[in-house]
């Protein structure tokens, strides 16, 4: 299959940024949290992941539509930006930017939904992973909507766990997309494995953070 130069350039940017973001994300997971280095690495991780998401969206719109990568692009972008934004709102709770992010995620998903729901007709669509990703996005949007009803003092504690969940989930969402491209054995379950590992990593990080705060 011939690939045009714009397609190849976008693919190269997507792969390069993805490798860098995953490597940096792994380094962040393994390092101390809350330090100046952590914040600097975090900003770079967000920038690299945005390049991954933007190039993924361009690829789906202009070159080759793939249901799995389309829904993962929406999911990872939303998790990334809302998880990053919560660091700045913290105890204040959700604001207008959260509303804008959620509205964009819903609108983007609504446009894609007809293609996503009909993806089971194609053997390469991995409908189990597509529908699982859609379910994950729906649950996340439901939780973020419920945040507006939380007592104000809850946000001072919950923002840390929201940040952990959303940013780590963004990292493992990219790993799931990479598995969908590179791993041909055991599909679609090999694509779901990074999500399972991500949930385990999130549980460990939240438990460690909670335990450290209880002991203080």
Whether this prediction's pTM lies above 0.85 is answered by: yes
Q: With 0-12 CB in 10 A as exposed, 13-18 as middle and 19+ as buried, what is 178?
A: middle
Q: Does 189 map to a domain?
A: yes
In tens, the pLDDT along 145-173 reads 999 999 989 999 899 999 999 999 999 98
Q: Does 18 map to a domain?
A: no
Residue 17 makes CB contacts below 8 A (sequence gap 6+) with 48, 49, 51, 52, 55
Q: Does 32 map to a domain?
A: no
C-alpha 202/C-alpha 196 separation (Å) is: 10
Q: Does 7 map to a domain?
A: no
Count CB atoms within 10 A of the CB of residue 64: 12
For residue 125, pLDDT over 60 is answered with no
- Our count of domains for the chain comes to 1
For residue 112, pLDDT over 80 is answered with yes
Q: Which domain holds residue 77?
A: 66-215
Q: Does 161 map to a domain?
A: yes
Nearest Cα to 52, choosing from 171, 140, 134?
171
Q: Where are the alpha helices (DSSP H) in the chain?
A: 5-30, 36-58, 67-89, 96-117, 127-146, 155-182, 189-215
Q: Does 133 map to a domain?
A: yes
C-alpha 142/C-alpha 140 separation (Å) is: 5
Q: Does 206 map to a domain?
A: yes
Radius of gyration of the chain (CA): 17
Q: Does 100 map to a domain?
A: yes
Query: What DSSP state is assigned to residue 3?
Result: -
In tens, the pLDDT along 173-184 reads 898 888 777 766
């Amino acid at each position: 299959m011939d690939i045009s130069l714009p397609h190849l350039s976008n693919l190269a940017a997507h792969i390069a940024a993805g490798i860098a973001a995953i490597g940096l994300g792994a380094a962040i997971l393994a390092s101390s949290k809350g330090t100046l280095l952590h914040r600097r690495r975090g900003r770079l991780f967000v920038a690299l992941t945005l390049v991954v998401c933007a190039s993924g969206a361009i690829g789906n719109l202009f070159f080759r539509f793939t249901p799995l990568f389309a829904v993962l692009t929406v999911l990872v972008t939303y998790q990334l930006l809302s998880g990053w934004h919560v660091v700045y709102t913290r105890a204040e709770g959700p604001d207008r930017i959260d509303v804008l992010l959620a509205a964009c995620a819903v609108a983007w998903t609504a446009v894609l939904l007809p293609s996503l729901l009909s993806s089971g007709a194609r053997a390469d669509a991995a409908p189990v992973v597509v529908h699982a990703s859609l379910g994950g996005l729906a649950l996340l949007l439901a939780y973020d909507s419920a945040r507006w009803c939380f007592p104000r003092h809850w946000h001072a504690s919950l923002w840390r766990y929201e940040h952990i969940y959303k940013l780590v989930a963004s990292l493992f969402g990219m790993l799931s997309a990479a598995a969908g491209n590179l791993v041909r054995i055991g599909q679609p379950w090999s694509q779901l494995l990074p999500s399972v590992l991500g949930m385990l990593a999130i549980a460990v990080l939240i438990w460690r953070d909670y335990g450290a705060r209880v002991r203080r």
